[in-house]
Amino acid sequence: MSRRLVAVTAGLSQPSSTRLVADRLGSSVVRAAGERGVDIDVQVVELRDLAHDIANALVTGFPAGDLRAVVDAVAAADAVVAVTPVFTASYSGLFKSFFDVLDPDALAGTPVLVAATGGTARHSLVLDHAMRPMFTYLHAVVVPTGVFAAAEDWGAGDGADRALAERIDRAAGELAALLAGPGGAGSGGAGSRERRAPAPDPYQEPTAFVDLLREHSGQQV
C-alpha cells in the first residue's frame, strides 16, 4: 500500500531551516509508516518558487502553471506536512496565501502535520494559536503533536537536537498511524482517499432578519 505525502515549506532563504524541518519530518514519516507496512511517496513543495504565481492567483482567482500542478497535488495527497517560518508572531504571508488559493474543501479529511521555525521558543504558540485553527477551519485532521524548531535547536549540542528529533518522531508517528488506518496497512482511516465530507456550515445560508422578526412577533412584517 502506497500513500502520497506532500510537504509544503514556506522558507524564504536557501538553504532554510524551514526546509530542513520539512525534510526531517518527511523522512521520519517514511520510517514510521514503513514500520506499519505503508510505503510513502514524498513530494516537497517550496513556496518561494511559486510566490509570483500565488500572488497572481489571489488577484485573478485562477492558479495557473506550476501552481496549478501543486494545488492539484495537495488536494490529491493522502497527508500533508505544512511548515512555515514565524513572521510577526504568526505564519508567513506566503504560507497563508498559498492555502488561501486552495479550494475550501481541498483538505477536508486530510491528515495534516503542522510545524514552524523561529528565532526563539516563545514563538511556538503559533502552532496552536494560528496554524491549528486555520487547518481546522479547512476541515483537515490535524495531528496532536506540532513541531517547533527554534534557533537554539540547531547546533546547540546533542541534547537540543535530540529533543527536536524526539518531537519530530512523535509527530511523524501520529501522522503515520493515520495513514495506516486503524486496521494497519491497506485499511481505510483518515488517510484513505475516501475523504470525510466537511460538516455543513450553519451560517452559510442564514435566515433573513426580517423572517426572524416575523417568527418572533407572529405578525406580518
Domains delineated in the chain: 2-217 (3.40.50.360)
pLDDT exceeds 70 at position 220? no
The pLDDT assigned to 195 comes to 54
What's the pLDDT tens digit per position in 130-143?
999 999 999 999 99
Q: How does DSSP assign 176-212, residue by residue?
A: HHHHH-TTSTTS-STTSSSPPPPPP-TTSSPPPHHHH
156: DSSP letter? S
Per-residue pLDDT reduced to its tens digit, 82-116: 999 999 889 999 999 999 999 999 999 999 999 99
The string of pLDDT tens digits covering residues 165-183 is 999 999 999 999 999 986 5
